Structure 1
Amino acid sequence: MTDKKYMHVNAFNMNCVGHIHHGLWTHPRDQSTQYHTLKYWTDIAKLLEKGLFDGIFIADVVGYYDVYQRGVDLTLREAIQLPVNNPWLLVSAMAAVTEHLGFGLTATVNAHQPYTFARDVSTLDQLSNGRIGWNIVTGYVDSGARGLGQDGLADHDSRYDRADDFLALAYKFWEGSWEDGAVIADKARRIHTLPDKVHPVVHDGPFYRANAIHMSAPSPQRTPVLFQAGTSQRGLQFAGQHGEGIFIGARTPEAARDASRKLRAAAVAAGRRPDDIKIYVGAAVVVAPTQAEAEEKYADYLAYASAEGGLAHFAASTGVDFAQYDLDEPIVYGQGNAIQSAVQAAQQQGLTTRRKLLEQFSLGSRYNTIVGDPQQVADALERWIDVGEIDGFNLTRIVVPETWEDFVSLAVPELQNRGRYRTRYEEGSLRHKLFGRGDGLPANHPGAQQRR
């Protein structure tokens, strides 16, 4: 068939020990305790580029998980995303040992100022030759807000209002301050930048003000590829307006299809096209040469996983201290101020007791897990793409780097044989590799409206 589309695959990681599959850092083959070394990251980057991954997507959280048991004891013992380091400082090293691999980096709006953040992004986009994406996060833990000098998180929807204003100003810096051709670097005339092609940004919004020129010359993409992971009603609106890569949580391909159609409809409602966004589902893959070997490996992983660690992580996502409930006592979720879609998903899936939640987190997380030989894994991934109407996956790490080594050596060749996975990289920026329409934002994106 000629209408089969390639799968987009990111490695899903975090600059910490325990990311998604909690407890697996204790596995004897896992190397995630080396997260604070450059070699750990440059080796991963080279492996992912060998496997023709779109990119490495690095999650982040400003704050820590102190909802479960109303403290951080379990979080610290199990290294549940704590300690956690800055993901942005890793990029230069990984970009230096790769040529095509993209970098999706998480930054929380409330922890930055648009003026300086715009320069950080432009700098990395220049150094990587146009391979930077930004995962826009509005924050979801009170501990981070307290660390930033606030009493707690702002209201859920108002956090998106702040993100809208942040982007409105950032777009002006990235797209409108410097014209194309402003930099001529003419040594003979002693003119590096033409002053009449650099313009001040004036912004007076509900959350941010500025009257200044952008400090950086335009980078290859100007605006980074914009990733986002919100599927609440307000999150849908935000994603439809701004997002280019959207991450969803779905337990089945059918559920993914429903979410995908809502997201594409939101893009259309914002004046964009349905294919202006790429939709990703988080997935864990355990693949081996035979089904029996894959199941044996999965059983081995289960022996090291921490279901309670997964529950503590989920408690922070929902704002509910599950430790206060007996194993079979009904859980009252309510309307929390953390991640509303996480609460909705738990209720829809019938995760109404602590026992059911612990069963869900048997591998230390609630992510979908695909176990099998290369053919079985490829069948499952294809079904998610075709039935779920998604574009790709955030491939979580179970054991580092084994998870991605197995995927590269076993699953990728099978997917390539089926015409579902690239066999070489195209030239160009991360945005061009994803959409095939050039380096910059398309004309129908709100950021493009700031161009001169």
Structure 2
Amino acid sequence: MTKQIRLNAFAMNCVAHQSPGLWTHPRDRTLGYNRLPYWLDLAKTLERGRFDGLFLADVLGVYDVFGSSPDAALRNAAQTPANEPLMLIPAMAAVTQNLGFGVTSNLSFEPPYPFARRMSTLDHLTEGRIGWNVVTGYLDSAARGAGKDRQAAHDDRYDIADEYMELVYKLWEGSWEDDAVLRDRTRGIFADPSKVHRIEHEGTNYRLSAIHLSEPSPQRTPVLYQAGTSPRGRQFAAQHAECVFMSGPSAKIIGPRVAAIRALAKEIGRNPAEILMFSMMTIILGRTEAEAKAKYADYRAHIAPEGALALMSGWMGVDFSSYDLDQQVRHIQNDAGRTALDNVTRADPDRVWTVREVVEHVGIGGAGPVVVGTPEKVADDIEAWFEETDVDGLNVAFATSPGDFEDIADMLVPELTTRGRYKSEYAEGTLREKLFGKGRAQLTEQHPASRYRPHRAAKAAE
């Protein structure tokens, strides 16, 4: 059976996101990021294109590694300013019926008890269309904003994250039994107290004694996304993730990462097919090849090199302000995002990147490939990408928004649908059911969250 292509739109509650400088293009509307009309129009466009979801990135901190200053990020709107993403979700959910929402939240600076309630609330308000992209951060500026000198070491952050996940699983899955809520008007009883359980947790990093404040939501645990593909990140993804987002400039880099996570999942007893892999890609479309190439050239004229350098420095933890543009980028071990640096140093030993080449690559669409052409040519390229990498979907970045997404909905989606590679209509149910099948509103028994459900916990205690 031919694998269907899944699409997420990749955006952030900021200006430009992955294409620094493109906010100056007359087609771009991201200057309206701080007003609801922009987001409502985007959500309706994505649902018209039957996108599986809107994947909202977030960074808690400013890009101040370049030149040891936030000035370049501020001048170029390089993911600065960046507003809170969760507040957008209820408004967009109100004007859509099927679009999913994968939202990034950094657990390093978010206490698990109120966060668990916030996600349950979103799951209720979206009627089960919420997902959480689990991140631990990579900017020291975020740690300083939270009152710390610097972020924890890279692998230590994942150790903390494992305990964090245990605690939110206990709250989402174990505090309220399925039949705890009665809503009995006749007797005046809303919930059966005997079926609502206090969560007691004494761990290395967290302690808690409380009941979960939200009644069970449609999915209980939101759909879990994860975006780290370092060795420790892959281990975390294999353990917890249902969807993995990865970025890289070529199939040669993405393919092995997909295979590694699937292999790890199998080793620990999870079905690898229950982890969907999404890779980043930017798509530039035209009715003719000449039109597409002209559009791409026009976009490139708006790239802000300094903004690209600010993003690169933040992602990689390397201050490129003192580098010559023709200097080779070499690997440095640090506590920033290791995947971004690996992409241009050791992930592909057959390619050597200079700073100039990285700037040119990052300028449109960030760290993923850019595919340019007619709907037919782009569909061919995407199908080839799927065959070479074994991914399940794409996180589609943009050069201009919502224009690039309108092009995809109007031109590419009909072509993919005609080929039988894209859904002709949305499946019913929650986001998890849309992604994994009817009757799968909650996590399977194979997932580690299931062990904290009351019936499993009681059996384990016997």
What is the TM-score normalised by the length of structure 2? 0.95
Contact 2:253 2:343 in 1 (8 A): no
State the match for 2:460 in structure 1.
Answer: none
Contact 2:345 2:352 in 1 (8 A): yes
- 1:146-181 per-position Cα deviation (integer Å, ceiling 9, x unaligned): 000000010000100111111100000000000001
> Hey, what's the Cα distance between the residues in 1 that align with 2:288 and 2:75?
36
State the match for 1:180 in structure 2.
Answer: 178
In the TM superposition, structure 1's runs of 4+ consecutive aligned residues that sit over 6 Å from their partners are none
Contact 1:18 1:78 in 2 (8 A): no
Instruction: Quote the offset at 1:25 in angstroms.
Output: 0.2
> Hey, what's the Cα distance between the residues in 1 that align with 2:292 and 2:262?
36
- 1:369-418 per-position Cα deviation (integer Å, ceiling 9, x unaligned): 00000100100111111221000000112111110000000000000000
> Hey, what's the Cα distance between the residues in 1 that align with 2:23 and 2:353?
28
> Hey, what's the Cα distance between the residues in 2 that align with 1:26 and 1:178?
50
Q: What does residue range 66-105 of structure 1 map to in structure 2 within 5 Å?
A: 66-105=64-103
Contact 1:286 1:372 in 2 (8 A): yes
State the match for 1:151 in structure 2.
Answer: 149
Contact 2:172 2:212 in 1 (8 A): yes
Change (3 A) 1:176 1:189: same
> Hey, what's the Cα distance between the residues in 2 that align with 1:112 and 1:81?
20
- 1:229-269 per-position Cα deviation (integer Å, ceiling 9, x unaligned): 11111101100000011011232224322111101011112
Please tell me the residue identity of whatever aligns with 1:12.
F
> Hey, what's the Cα distance between the residues in 2 that align with 1:77 and 1:358?
17
Verify: 1:258 aligned to 2:253, yes or no. Answer: no
Question: Which range moved further: 203-212 or 137-146?
Answer: 203-212
Q: How many residues align?
A: 450
Verify: 1:371 aligned to 2:356, yes or no. Answer: no
Instruction: Quote the offset at 1:332 in angstroms.
Output: 4.5
Please tell me the residue identity of whatever aligns with 2:212.
H
Instruction: Quote the offset at 1:333 in angstroms.
Output: 3.5
What SS does the aligned partner of 2:345 have?
A: helix
State the match for 2:389 in structure 1.
Answer: 388
Kindly report the root-mean-square deviation, in angstroms, between the aligned alpha carbons of the 2 structures. 1.2
Change (3 A) 1:400 1:352: closer
> Hey, what's the Cα distance between the residues in 2 that align with 1:388 and 1:366?
16
> Hey, what's the Cα distance between the residues in 2 that align with 1:406 and 1:221?
32
- 1:176-202 per-position Cα deviation (integer Å, ceiling 9, x unaligned): 000001111101101000011100101
Q: Which runs of 5+ in 2 are unaligned?
A: 455-462
> Hey, what's the Cα distance between the residues in 2 that align with 1:362 and 1:18?
11
What is the TM-score normalised by the length of structure 1? 0.97
Q: What does residue range 300-339 of structure 1 map to in structure 2 within 5 Å?
A: 300-339=298-337
Please tell me the residue identity of whatever aligns with 1:353.
T
Please tell me the residue identity of whatever aligns with 2:264.
A
Instruction: Quote the offset at 1:352 in angstroms.
Output: 4.5
State the match for 1:441 in structure 2.
Answer: 443
> Hey, what's the Cα distance between the residues in 2 that align with 1:155 and 1:219?
34
Contact 2:365 2:398 in 1 (8 A): no
Instruction: Quote the offset at 1:7 in angstroms.
Output: 0.8
Contact 1:272 1:444 in 2 (8 A): yes
Question: Which range moved further: 33-42 or 364-373?
Answer: 364-373
Contact 2:282 2:365 in 1 (8 A): no
> Hey, what's the Cα distance between the residues in 1 that align with 2:153 and 2:94?
41
Q: What does residue range 193-212 of structure 1 map to in structure 2 within 5 Å?
A: 193-212=191-210
Name which of 166, 169, 174 aligns with 2:167: 169
> Hey, what's the Cα distance between the residues in 1 that align with 2:140 and 2:363?
27
Q: Which runs of 5+ in 1 are unaligned?
A: none
Instruction: Quote the offset at 1:360 in angstroms.
Output: 2.6
Please tell me the residue identity of whatever aligns with 1:48.
L
What SS does the aligned partner of 1:279 have?
A: strand
What SS does the aligned partner of 2:344 have?
A: helix
